Homo-oligomer: A and B are copies of this chain.
């Protein structure tokens, strides 16, 4: 019973002991008395041979429990470090949904070997799940739920729970199906325990419930579970037959992964599922280069705009000094709007039908922001040129207001339209918005300059 000790401790103790045979017994004792959280942190942070060595020192039950909680990358490394026999024992012991996630990551040859070595029952369950599309409810569900009948009494149902308790993923929500496996209702173990032993399940179960289908996107599943605060949600096939459940422990990971994917796409990166330090150099370069190249070539067209105004620029080279400020402000203003709309859509706060509301909102906000920025800029130029160049100050300030309004309009509209045509709105984030509004900002600026400064 301790506060969580900082990860460094167990990690360092392990490194201090592990290469010294005389200290092996002491280490074994320390490891088996450590909390699961400390063990997880140590296994995640150790590299090379060490995770395998540590793992082999754990008592079997503790080892199996810890393995189940490890992230998939670390599980994969361990599988490679263990004997086939030990690896198969672990995989047989994993809940079906975790097993599928791990097999998905293993090299096809290894996965096939492991699958073949499973007991027939576990193998057929695993094959079933692996038949569903990645990232769907079918792929992440587990078929191990507790099934009771509506004709049973509360007491009979509790007996069923006791029998099933060891092997089912959860016993805290029980599912009632008819003879054709159609879902008829749900009851929590809490309600079952409160009930009179003679109560009929039919009378105490909840009849109206929400289900998802096997092809529902995992992100949608996560959001429903999050909204309902349920421990598990039932998954049904096209004929409304119960085929599995998805439990709460998968939800936080899905929400975190989806946020990471959005954040990476929004920064012009091809999203990667492996942690930063575990991704190969060439893979990382590839994840970045496509977007960098596309955006660089797009920015070249922005250069053509400057080329088109070369005479204006030659007549007043001072205009060039405002280019970075205008481009950066345009990019930042557009990125703010795009980010708010993209995240709002991801959280379900904003839909395409809100387009006019969003546009009206952004217009008003951009006028306020534009005027504030322009005023600051006018004052700066006016003071720096001793009040001499008020025409230049006007040019820059008007261009700035128009630029902010334009940038925020583009920034809020593009993600909404992207969603409408089924493109991931996250693509319409900072980098692409910046490139587009940069070009527009320069056109606005040089047009105002030509008009106001008469060049």
The 0/1 profile, CB within 8 Å of B marked 1, for residues 87-104 of chain A is 000000000000000000
Instruction: Say yes or no: A303 contacts B321, CB within 8 Å.
Output: yes
Q: How far is the CA of A335 from the CA of B162 in the complex (A)?
A: 54
Instruction: Say yes or no: B276 contacts A341, CB within 8 Å.
Output: yes
Knowing A228-B69, A269-B336, A361-B277, the reply to whether A373 touches B293 (Cβ < 8 A) is yes
The 0/1 profile, CB within 8 Å of B marked 1, for residues 1-26 of chain A is 11110000000000000000000000
Instruction: Say yes or no: B36 contacts A284, CB within 8 Å.
Output: no
Closest to A32 in B: B208
Knowing A1-B208, A263-B262, the reply to whether A434 touches B341 (Cβ < 8 A) is no
Closest to A252 in B: B226
Find residues 67-87 in chain A having any chain B CB closer than 8 Å to their own CB.
Answer: 68-69
Residue A125 CB within 8 A of the other chain: no
Knowing A299-B328, A303-B325, the reply to whether A161 touches B193 (Cβ < 8 A) is yes
Residue A111 CB within 8 A of the other chain: no
Instruction: Say yes or no: A263 contacts B259, CB within 8 Å.
Output: yes
Q: Which residues of B contact A161 (CB under 8 A)?
A: 193
Residue A344 CB within 8 A of the other chain: yes
Knowing A296-B377, A361-B284, A372-B289, the reply to whether A275 touches B349 (Cβ < 8 A) is yes
Q: Which residues of B contact A37 (CB under 8 A)?
A: 210, 224, 227-228
The copy count of this chain in the complex is 2
Knowing A248-B248, A275-B349, the reply to whether A310 touches B317 (Cβ < 8 A) is yes
Query: Considering only CB atoms and an 8 Å cut-off, how many residues of chain A contact the other chain?
Result: 133
Q: How far is the CA of A327 from the CA of B435 in the complex (A)?
A: 10
Instruction: Say yes or no: A285 contacts B209, CB within 8 Å.
Output: no
Q: Which residues of B contact A260 (CB under 8 A)?
A: 259, 343, 347
The 0/1 profile, CB within 8 Å of B marked 1, for residues 425-455 of chain A is 0000011001100110010000000000000
The 0/1 profile, CB within 8 Å of B marked 1, for residues 223-238 of chain A is 0111111010000100
Knowing A211-B3, A284-B365, A350-B277, the reply to whether A329 touches B193 (Cβ < 8 A) is no
Q: How far is the CA of A339 from the CA of B266 in the complex (A)?
A: 9
Residue A304 CB within 8 A of the other chain: yes
Q: How far is the CA of A53 from the CA of B267 in the complex (A)?
A: 44
Q: How far is the CA of A338 from the CA of B266 in the complex (A)?
A: 12
Residue A423 CB within 8 A of the other chain: no
Find residues 151-185 in chain A having any chain B CB closer than 8 Å to their own CB.
Answer: 161-162, 165-166, 171-172, 182-185
Q: Which residues of B contact A46 (CB under 8 A)?
A: none
Instruction: Say yes or no: B306 contacts A320, CB within 8 Å.
Output: yes
Instruction: Say yes or no: A332 contacts B211, CB within 8 Å.
Output: no
Residue A297 CB within 8 A of the other chain: yes
Instruction: Say yes or no: A275 contacts B344, CB within 8 Å.
Output: yes
Residue A255 CB within 8 A of the other chain: yes
Q: Which residues of B contact A213 (CB under 8 A)?
A: 3
Instruction: Say yes or no: B224 contacts A4, CB within 8 Å.
Output: yes
Closest to A364 in B: B281
Q: How far is the CA of A72 from the CA of B302 in the complex (A)?
A: 45
Find residues 309-326 in chain A having any chain B CB closer than 8 Å to their own CB.
Answer: 310, 313-314, 317-318, 320-325
Instruction: Say yes or no: B300 contacts A380, CB within 8 Å.
Output: yes
Q: How far is the CA of A386 from the CA of B225 in the complex (A)?
A: 62
Q: Which residues of B contact A317 (CB under 8 A)?
A: 310, 313-314
Instruction: Say yes or no: B194 contacts A166, CB within 8 Å.
Output: yes
Residue A49 CB within 8 A of the other chain: no
Residue A187 CB within 8 A of the other chain: no
Most buried by B among A338, A341, A358, A361: A361
Instruction: Say yes or no: A276 contacts B328, CB within 8 Å.
Output: no
Q: How far is the CA of A365 from the CA of B302 in the complex (A)?
A: 26
Return A444 CB to nearest CB of chain B, in Å.
Answer: 14
What 6 A-B pairs have minimum CB-CB distances, sorted nearest first? Answer: A259-B259, A267-B339, A302-B324, A229-B249, A303-B321, A275-B349
9 A-B pairs in the complex with CB atoms less than 8 angstroms apart = A36-B210, A226-B252, A264-B340, A288-B365, A296-B373, A302-B324, A307-B318, A310-B317, A331-B434
Known: A269-B336, A285-B372, A324-B442. 17 other contacts (CB 8 A): A1-B208, A4-B212, A36-B210, A36-B228, A165-B194, A225-B252, A256-B347, A262-B263, A275-B347, A276-B343, A281-B361, A296-B329, A299-B327, A302-B324, A302-B325, A314-B314, A328-B431
